[in-house]
Amino acid sequence: MSKPSPIVFLVDVDDTLLENDRIQTDLRCHIEREFGARCRDRFWAIQEELFKELGYCDYLGALQRFRVEHPYEPHLVTAANFLVDYPFANRLYPGALDVLERFREWGRTVILTDGDMVFQPRKVQRSGIFETVKGHVLIYIHKEEALENIEQRYPAEHYVLVDDKLRILTAVKKAWGNRVTTVFPRQGQFALDPKVLASYPSADVSVERICDLLSCDLLDLVPARPLAANQGRPSTPKSTLNYNKQTTTK
């Protein structure tokens, strides 16, 4: 194991950097246009079944299962091309890449996401995320169960985890305790679900939009932790965020 970095930022993709709800809407519309409303509903039912099994959206896997039920459907090729060639860069939340660039000024920044090993890497690459983080990308089936592997690959004295799912943030906080700052951008269907919000404790830091993190300084996210000597001094915080309390930056 290499020497631990002072800080490693771990950032989710779907509904954290990318507006996944809009991607789903576009996919629904495409399938309805190519196959009709009935097939659209059946495809989405398959996708929901896979989501329950895997814990992440496997659109290509759903398309494969849909193919078994419709082996002679000529429009399956266009549906596959739609997914593979989707313009993901158009679905980045405003300021998403700027946040990654800001994090990289402070420490190693790593994409930490769940997903399959075809569509998810394609999404990360075509959106510009891969290039922004210089290829530091981790893709797991259940990332909250891969913490030991994450620590081995990116050892750190302190982690900052940015994720739209309180379930993930809570699990990682339970495992790493004060070694991690959990950051909750309230974006997407999971982050705005009242039942989800009532089921889990608040994250260390909560913001309405990912771009709100641009108004934060390092000490807002990692209090009293200095930067490495070769990284210079952090600037004076513009706004201090309270821990163990839901907070929104302006």
Per-residue pLDDT of 25-65, as tens digits, reads: 999 899 998 889 998 999 999 999 998 888 888 888 898 89
Place of tokens 């196959």: 35
pLDDT of residue 1: 56
Task: Please give the share of the chain, as a percent, with pLDDT higher than 90.
Answer: 64
Kindly state the DSSP code that residue 204 receives in the 8-state scheme: S
What spatial distance separates the first Cα and last Cα of the chain, rounded to whole Å?
Answer: 39
Q: Which of 77-86, 121-130, 134-143, 181-190 has the lowest mean pLDDT?
A: 77-86
Q: What is the pTM of this model?
A: 0.84
What is residue 92's DSSP assignment? Answer: B
Q: What does the block give as tokens for 43?
A: 């495809």
Please report, for residues 13, 137, 140, 213, the alpha-carbon distance to residue 121 in angstroms, rounded to integers and kept in the order given: 11, 9, 11, 25
Note the helical H segments in 14-159.
20-35, 37-54, 59-69, 76-84, 96-106, 119-126, 129-132, 147-153
Residue 233's pLDDT band, with cuts at 50, 70 and 90, is: very low
User: Which of the residue ranges 9-18, 56-65, 189-198, 219-228 has the most confident prediction, judged by mean pLDDT?
Assistant: 9-18
In residues, how long is the chain?
A: 250
Pairing of strands 5-11, 108-114: parallel
pLDDT confidence of residue 203: 96
Handedness of CA 14, 96, 111, 103 (dihedral sign): negative
Give residue 238's pLDDT: 37
Say if residue 128's pLDDT is above 70.
yes
The whole-number pLDDT of residue 226 equals: 45
| Cα distance between residue 70 and residue 186, in whole Å | 38
For position 22, what pLDDT does the model report? Answer: 92
pLDDT value for 224: 65
What span, in angstroms and rounded, lies between the C-alpha atoms of 233 and 4?
A: 19
Ranked by mean pLDDT, which of 62-66, 181-185, 228-232 comes out on top? 181-185
The average pLDDT across 67-95 equals: 89
Please compute the mean of the pLDDT values over residues 208-231 and round it to a whole number. Answer: 77
> pLDDT value at position 95?
97
The model's confidence at residue 77, banded by pLDDT at 50, 70 and 90, is confident
